[in-house]
Structure 1
Amino acid sequence: MVDFVLAFSRILAVFSRLVLWMAGAGLVAMTVFIGMQVWGRFVLNDTPTWTETSSILLMGWVIFLGAAVGIREGNHLSFDVLLYVLPRPVVKICHSISDLVVIAFGTGMIGYGLQLAATTWATTIPNLGITGATSFFSLIFGGVLMVLFSLERLLRRVVGLHTPRFGDDVIEE
């Protein structure tokens, strides 16, 4: 089982790095689009109409991809004061409960994102000419990643491997 979890972790590590690069590229593209909008508005007096809408769509991708990677790498802030006085086995249980809550939240993102996408599939985003469901694809994909990365954390904990957490200087046993 440990070998499976380690292989799964290696695959997700590569995927996580790719997702982080995609989020970074989206952030750069968003910055370029907003720069084009400002340049068009104040210099050319002819604003490209697609830049604002594209930037808003990209912002969703940047946020949800970055949040998912933050879950995998344990970089989200948490309130851990109580965990410092609890025994290590109880701390592991609390961390696992936290991961289960994230899985439930990610599952909700997937479910409600699919409902929203289905509801807006027939609409069109005016400046881009694409389906309105596109607005919710980042929500769905981000939810999938959150579930995957939280499952990885649970599996690592079950087989006794370390799962990093923000500010955690103690290796889990």
Structure 2
Amino acid sequence: MTAARPRLRKLGRALSALSTAALYLAGFFLVLMTLFVGWQVFTRYVLNWSNAWTEPAAVFLMSWFIFLGSAVGIRENYHLGFDVLLYVLPRSGKKYLRTISDLVVLAFALGMVVYGMQLVLLSWAARMPTLGIPEGAKYISVVAGGALIVIFALERLVLRWSGVDIDADVNLDLDAVPDAGTVKEV
């Protein structure tokens, strides 16, 4: 098990770099989408002229930053969760529930990859008239985001079951929460 630790660290650094790149790309697409929408508003209401390409391009970029950002959220454990049961379980039970959660995320992401790829292939022959790109390009973000989520969910599973406490930041220990009588009011 100790021989695997350096490999896990090396893989972790590579996945961290991948996550950072996805986050920066998502941020760039968000800024670019905002510029496109701003240009659309300016040309429509100031110049009384409309661009046909700005809205489809903005939606295209929005899908990219949503799916890339959600993949980063999975890796950083910022995704939505229903943690009520974790308040009453002993620490050993939390590991199993978080594993089930990661497996559900993994299954959903695999569905994104498989069915997203089907959408890409089925609609690739058609063209988006305003952008001139294949219609199937709209769904590549679903596949890419799903693939990243698969990778990051697998990373979480491997780390958790190799003994790394990846859930330390989301420790829901009620003994650490102060009583209502000890909280000072401002």
User: What is the TM-score with the length of structure 2 in the denominator?
Assistant: 0.87
The match for 1:168 among 162, 170, 175 is 170
% identical aligned pairs: 46
Query: What's the counterpart of residue 118 of structure 1?
Result: 121
d(CA) in 2 for partners of 1:7, 1:158:
17
Q: After TM superposition, which residue ranges in structure 1, 4 or more long, deviate above 3 angstroms? A: none
| Structure 2 residue ranges without an equivalent (≥5) | 174-186
Letter in 1 for 2:165: H
d(CA) in 2 for partners of 1:2, 1:161:
10
RMSD: 1.5
Query: What's the counterpart of residue 65 of structure 2?
Result: 62
- Shift of the alpha carbon at 1:164? 4.2
Preserved contact between residue 73 and residue 164 of structure 1 (Cα < 8 Å): no
Query: What's the counterpart of residue 90 of structure 1?
Result: 93
Preserved contact between residue 120 and residue 131 of structure 1 (Cα < 8 Å): yes
Preserved contact between residue 5 and residue 152 of structure 1 (Cα < 8 Å): no
d(CA) in 1 for partners of 2:43, 2:167:
45
d(CA) in 2 for partners of 1:164, 1:26:
30
Query: What's the counterpart of residue 71 of structure 1?
Result: 74
1:62-98 Cα distance to aligned partner (Å, 9 max, x none): 1101111000000123121211221222210111111
Letter in 2 for 1:95: R
Question: 55-64 or 43-52, which moves further after superposition?
Answer: 43-52
Preserved contact between residue 70 and residue 76 of structure 1 (Cα < 8 Å): yes
Query: What's the counterpart of residue 50 of structure 1?
Result: 53
> What is the count of residue pairs matched by the alignment?
170
Asked which structure has the greater RCO (Cα within 8 Å, sep 6+), the reply is 1
d(CA) in 1 for partners of 2:9, 2:90:
26
For the pair shown, which has the larger CA radius of gyration, 1 or 2?
2
The match for 2:130 among 127, 131, 153 is 127
1:143-167 Cα distance to aligned partner (Å, 9 max, x none): 00000000010111011112247x7
Letter in 2 for 1:102: V
Query: What's the counterpart of residue 176 of structure 2?
Result: none
| Structure 1 residue ranges without an equivalent (≥5) | none
Query: What's the counterpart of residue 11 of structure 1?
Result: 14
The match for 2:158 among 132, 135, 155 is 155
